[in-house]
């Protein structure tokens, strides 16, 4: 999500909320220093550009039957990043390099079941539990054979699993969203537009991927789907509700942001900004323990005797039935254990959620052991037979942390193709250890186990009394052990051959050289704080443009890692000493990296933006990069007047290692990416185009801030819609070459 957040109540972007008041320390000294990106252009690009990476020459794969009588023509030499960089643009369309095509499928509202009416796109459509949801985010590719079996090598038929992070209420209803009390008909649409979709796609006779509308694999998991609570917190007293008196089940997965794919072929999706979906009444604090009030505050649901925590969409006002009442997480019943109300419903959200896409009737499970966070996405380290599996995760809010799950079970290669996929999930995701990261100034880091046996947790004033509490109040346990506050950890992914992890830090408006109040001091891993002026008038402060941290574990279970900063986002013309540290140029400058994914076929690293700083110049974008290796750069000292911070940088970018590949439509976020195994098709998701459109302008499509994707030929109506984009190369080659 980005700056445009339509809402029915006074809603604050949860990513920009900082509930981390822990005193975790940072190195460095304090000095006020600000600078304007367009006012101070000291050094420009800098003199010493790093040495170029040698472009990797590869023989094109694929090809056709050749005539045996004469020598076959020389195969074209494939060059990674061989395309011409796309220019920054505010055009309301898909902009791809010459020689590529982008085509839209699976837009919000497109039918996913036979008999569902075509989408009218005028705010009168219903049946969203059988249509694509809204606000597409993470996407993963699950191959299918011609006979409909799992086939990890299939590039012609697959299931695409997409997250639907939130909604754009303005365009979902004929005249925009009604105020509280919300009509049940509108709440039903909005709840069903959340969650996850599994949609079959297959190549047609022309070789183009099309949606298989009547596929038995198609599935919607929504904000009301029944889900099992699994793992070490299952059955905890804090999971007891009127729906599940034994605390083993809940309903709905909400605010599904990024996602990941397990080594055994399931989806691991996330719950990010779930907390704000729940109403908590003024005065509820008097009916809760000190401990629970501390937890509510740490996750953004604090109330006082006179101030309620209002819900994001007001669904709890839509009726008295449980479908709506469950969004009021206040004590309203008289029971001692919460079995007569939904006071604990909020504690059943915020987890990693495993879904088997190959079975539309399979049970969905929340894996509580991986902690309760603002989960952005998940990435497995490269599996090693006989070693535990490691799962890496970021908690995306200001000044939150990076986490790692290490399975108790050692990896057995045969599990990769096991038929009982959810049981394999039980094996690796329900028993293990949870760690949080501390980034040290010397380029090392520590994984600190979140365990009751850690004296800092056992002795914390919060009063942890059982390990399960650590999985529910995870942020508080991480505070206690001195984890490093990061600049909003977003997507993490693993390099397919080096095994190094790359994690985006999208931006942090509270990062400062001279903090006041709750602002956070610059440190080695989050070294930048500056002032950026957008559109000549809007001043933004902190780490405005974000960066990408890279780290390496020598084994999945190690508690020691090494790190550097792979790339710093910046505008090309900004100060080379403090802002444009990676030497970005017009062909590759970017701001607010969010989505990040490797394509194993090429080894390229794809970087996607969700930005509110550079959007006066360009819509959000997708860049392709040839990553190096950790430590390929050098230490870099940022001098802020009389104080300084030394970070560890990767090599600077060059036009041979980083290029802008795609720019999305107006008012969108570019997020989520997956490829066919042959590397010749890439799917990306476009979230909330045109979400700056005003309700008052709904009658006049010329006033919509975007008309995408109807303006590129997809679907009826001109209201903007989130959708999936299919990218192919005209010569049939691999994407990014």
Which tokens belong to 583? 């030497």
Binding to ligand FEO in span 270-289, by CB under 6 A: 272
564 belongs to the binding site for Ca ion (CB under 5 A): no
**CA–CA gap between residue 562 and residue 582 (Å, rounded):** 20
Whichever of 222 and 285 has its CB closer to ligand FEO, that residue is: 222
**CA–CA gap between residue 150 and residue 142 (Å, rounded):** 7
Whichever of 242 and 688 has its CB closer to Ca ion, that residue is: 688
Chosen residue from 192, 200, 356, 376 binding ligand FEO by CB under 6 A: 376
Whichever of 324 and 401 has its CB closer to ligand FEO, that residue is: 401
Binding to ligand FEO in span 2-21, by CB under 6 A: 15
- Residues with Cβ within 8 Å of residue 12, at least 6 apart in sequence: none
Say if residues 636 and 33 touch (Cβ distance below 8 Å).
no
Instruction: Walk across the sheet containing 621-625 and list its strands.
Output: 593-599, 604-609, 621-625, 658-663
User: Which helix (H) or strand (E) element contains residue 171?
Assistant: helix 169-172
Smallest distance from the beta carbon of 312 to ligand FEO, in angstroms?
14
Smallest distance from the beta carbon of 513 to ligand FEO, in angstroms?
25
Q: How many CB atoms lie within 10 A of CB 305?
A: 9
Smallest distance from the beta carbon of 220 to ligand FEO, in angstroms?
20
Helix (H, G, I), strand (E, B) or coil at 219: strand
Whichever of 250 and 685 has its CB closer to Ca ion, that residue is: 685
610 belongs to the binding site for Ca ion (CB under 5 A): yes
Smallest distance from the beta carbon of 99 to Ca ion, in angstroms?
29
Chosen residue from 190, 271, 490, 571 binding ligand FEO by CB under 6 A: 490
Whichever of 17 and 646 has its CB closer to ligand FEO, that residue is: 17
- Cα dihedral value 80, 561, 609, 138, nearest 10: 90
Chosen residue from 594, 611, 675, 691 binding Ca ion by CB under 5 A: 594
Whichever of 165 and 523 has its CB closer to ligand FEO, that residue is: 165
Whichever of 121 and 543 has its CB closer to ligand FEO, that residue is: 543
Q: Select the binding partner of residue 20 from Ca ion, ligand FEO, none (C-beta < 5 to 8 A, by kind).
A: none
Binding mask 249-288 for Ca ion (x = CB under 5 A): --------x-------------------------------
Helix (H, G, I), strand (E, B) or coil at 692: coil
Binding mask 584-623 for ligand FEO (x = CB under 6 A): ----------x-----------------------------
Residue with the shortest CB distance to Ca ion? 610
Which tokens belong to 183? 């009509």
**CA–CA gap between residue 597 and residue 609 (Å, rounded):** 12
Whichever of 188 and 594 has its CB closer to ligand FEO, that residue is: 594
Smallest distance from the beta carbon of 608 to ligand FEO, in angstroms?
11
Q: Select the binding partner of residue 354 from ligand FEO, Ca ion, none (C-beta < 5 to 8 A, by kind).
A: none
- Looking at 29-150, list the stretches that DSSP marks H as alpha helix, in order from N- to C-terminal side: none
Token pair 């019943």 is found at 333
Q: How many CB atoms lie within 10 A of CB 480?
A: 24
Whichever of 5 and 406 has its CB closer to Ca ion, that residue is: 5
Smallest distance from the beta carbon of 669 to Ca ion, in angstroms?
7
Binding to ligand FEO in span 160-189, by CB under 6 A: 165
Count of chain residues binding ligand FEO (CB under 6 A): 9
Whichever of 272 and 446 has its CB closer to ligand FEO, that residue is: 272
Q: How many Cα atoms sit within 13 Å of 46 on the Cβ side?
A: 19
Q: Select the binding partner of residue 165 from Ca ion, ligand FEO, none (C-beta < 5 to 8 A, by kind).
A: ligand FEO
487 belongs to the binding site for Ca ion (CB under 5 A): no
Pairing state between β 226-230 and 365-367? parallel
Whichever of 395 and 626 has its CB closer to ligand FEO, that residue is: 395
**CA–CA gap between residue 388 and residue 395 (Å, rounded):** 22
Chosen residue from 108, 112, 158, 257 binding ligand FEO by CB under 6 A: 257
In sequence order, the β-bridge partners of residue 202 are 157, 210
Token pair 């629970």 is found at 292
Which pairs count as long-range contacts for 338-345, CB under 8 Å and 24+ apart, including other chains?
338/237, 338/240, 338/241, 339/240, 339/241, 339/242, 339/245, 340/242, 341/241, 341/242, 342/241, 342/242, 342/243, 343/241, 344/238, 344/239, 344/240, 344/241, 344/247, 345/241, 345/250, 345/278
Q: Cα 718 to chain center, whole Å?
A: 27
**CA–CA gap between residue 27 and residue 559 (Å, rounded):** 21
List residues near Ca ion by CB under 5 A.
257, 490, 506, 594, 610
List residues near ligand FEO by CB under 6 A.
1, 15, 165, 257, 272, 376, 396, 490, 594
């Amino acid at each position: 999500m980005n700056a445009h957040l339509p809402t029915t109540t006074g809603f604050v972007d949860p990513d920009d909320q900082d509930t981390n008041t822990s005193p975790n320390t940072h190195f460095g000294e304090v000095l006020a220093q600000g600078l304007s990106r367009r006012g101070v252009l000291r050094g420009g690009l800098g003199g010493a550009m790093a040495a170029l990476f040698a472009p990797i020459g590869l023989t094109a794969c694929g090809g056709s039957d050749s005539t045996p009588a004469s020598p076959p023509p020389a195969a074209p030499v494939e060059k990674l990043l061989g395309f011409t960089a796309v220019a920054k643009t505010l055009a309301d369309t898909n902009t791809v390099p010459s020689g590529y095509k982008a085509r839209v499928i699976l837009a919000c509202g497109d039918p996913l079941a036979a008999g569902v009416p075509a989408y009218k796109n005028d705010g009168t459509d219903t049946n969203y539990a059988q249509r694509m949801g809204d606000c597409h985010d993470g996407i993963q590719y699950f191959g299918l054979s011609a006979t409909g079996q799992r086939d990890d090598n299939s590039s012609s038929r697959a299931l695409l699993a997409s997250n639907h992070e939130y909604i754009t209420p303005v365009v979902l209803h004929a005249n925009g969203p009604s105020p509280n009390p919300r009509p049940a008909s509108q709440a039903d649409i909005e709840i069903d537009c959340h969650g996850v979709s599994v949609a079959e796609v297959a190549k047609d006779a022309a070789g183009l991927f099309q949606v298989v509308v009547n596929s038995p694999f198609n599935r919607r998991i929504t904000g009301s789907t029944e889900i099992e609570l699994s793992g070490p917190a299952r059955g905890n007293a804090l999971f007891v509700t009127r729906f599940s008196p034994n605390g083993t089940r809940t309903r709905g997965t909400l605010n599904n942001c990024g996602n990941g794919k397990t080594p055994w072929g399931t989806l691991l999706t996330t719950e990010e900004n779930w907390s704000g979906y729940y109403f908590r009444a003024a005065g509820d604090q008097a009916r809760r323990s000190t401990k629970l009030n501390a937890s509510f505050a740490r996750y953004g649901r604090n109330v006082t005797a006179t101030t309620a925590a209002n819900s994001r969409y007001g669904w709890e006002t839509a009726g008295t039935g449980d479908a709506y009442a469950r969004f009021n997480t206040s004590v309203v019943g008289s029971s001692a254990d919460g079995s007569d109300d939904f006071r604990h419903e909020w504690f059943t959200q915020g987890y990693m959620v495993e879904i088997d896409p190959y079975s539309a009737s399979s049970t969905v499970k929340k894996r509580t052991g991986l902690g309760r966070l603002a989960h952005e996405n998940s990435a497995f380290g490269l599996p090693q037979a006989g070693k535990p599996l490691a799962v890496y995760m970021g908690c995306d809010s200001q000044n939150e942390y990076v986490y790692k799950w290490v399975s108790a079970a050692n990896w057995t290669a045969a599990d990769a193709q096991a038929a009982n996929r959810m049981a394999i999930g039980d094996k690796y995701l329900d028993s293990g250890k949870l760690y949080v990261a501390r980034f040290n100034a010397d380029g090392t880091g520590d994984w600190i186990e979140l365990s009751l046996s850690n004296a800092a947790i056992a002795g914390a004033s919060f009063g942890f009394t059982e390990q399960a509490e650590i999985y529910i109040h995870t942020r508080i346990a991480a505070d206690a052990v001195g984890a490093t506050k990061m600049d909003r950890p977003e997507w993490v992914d693993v390099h397919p051959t080096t095994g190094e992890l790359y994690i985006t830090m999208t931006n942090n408006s509270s990062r400062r050289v001279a903090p006041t109040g709750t602002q956070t001091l610059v440190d080695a891993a989050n070294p930048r704080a500056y002032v950026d002026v957008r559109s000549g008038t809007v001043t933004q402060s902190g780490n405005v443009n974000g960066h990408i941290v890279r780290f390496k574990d020598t084994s999945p279970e190690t508690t020691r890692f090494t790190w550097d900063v792979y790339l710093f986002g910046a505008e090309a013309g900004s100060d080379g000493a403090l802002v444009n540290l990676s030497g970005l140029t017009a062909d590759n400058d970017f701001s607010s990296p969010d989505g990040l994914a490797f394509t194993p076929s090429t080894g390229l690293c794809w970087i996607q933006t969700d930005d509110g700083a550079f959007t006066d110049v360009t819509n959000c974008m997708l860049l392709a990069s040839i990553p190096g290796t950790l430590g390929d750069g050098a230490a870099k000292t940022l001098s802020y007047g009389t104080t300084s911070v030394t970070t560890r940088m990767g090599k600077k970018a060059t036009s041979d290692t980083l290029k802008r590949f795609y720019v999305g439509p107006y008012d969108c976020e570019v997020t989520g990416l997956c490829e066919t195994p042959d590397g010749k098709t890439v799917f990306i998701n476009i979230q909330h185009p045109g979400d700056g459109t005003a309700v008052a302008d709904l009658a006049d499509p010329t006033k919509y801030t975007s008309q995408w994707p109807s303006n590129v030929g997809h679907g009826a109506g001109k209201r903007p819609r989130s959708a999936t984009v299919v990218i192919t190369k005209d010569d049939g080659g691999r994407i990014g070459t």
